[in-house]
Amino acid sequence: MSEDRSSNGQKSWLGKLTQAFAHEPKNRQELLELLREAHQNKLLDSEALTIVEGAIQVADLQVRDIMVPRSQMISIKASQTPREFLPAVIDAAHSRYPVVGESHDDVLGVLLAKDLLPLILKENGDSRSEERRVGKECRSRWS
């Protein structure tokens, strides 16, 4: 088998990464040190390093560290207007809100907090804002 080389004759990033891992780390700390060294040697860019470090840290978390229990979940009904649901959104201060139909099990999509700014601007400039329902503004659960 020939050695993996790019068109200019140097080893590819895969070859460099493989070489960096030639001495297998024995624990997470050694793995993180090896990854940071690979970043310093320009084998990994900052974004890739951040993603890998984040993935390693997630393994130490419990589901309750990331998710809100269903009993404490703040959801928005698709039929609600911003005026109706904004007080609850402001009080909860979460980044995502499930948009539901008839029940909590009927999730139609997700409203991201960042999507509320244009929604509020539309409401302030539109005399028909009471007719606007959040169901049309949320992101589909399939997208």
Q: Which two tokens stand for residue 69?
A: 């229990």
Average pLDDT of the residues of the chain = 79
- CA–CA separation, 137 vs 82, rounded Å? 10
CA torsion sign for 70, 71, 77, 80 is negative
Provide the β-strand partners of residue 98.
110
pLDDT tens-digit map of 72-95: 889 999 999 888 998 999 898 888
Chain-centroid distance of CA 40 in Å reads 26
pLDDT tens-digit map of 99-123: 999 988 999 999 998 888 776 666 5
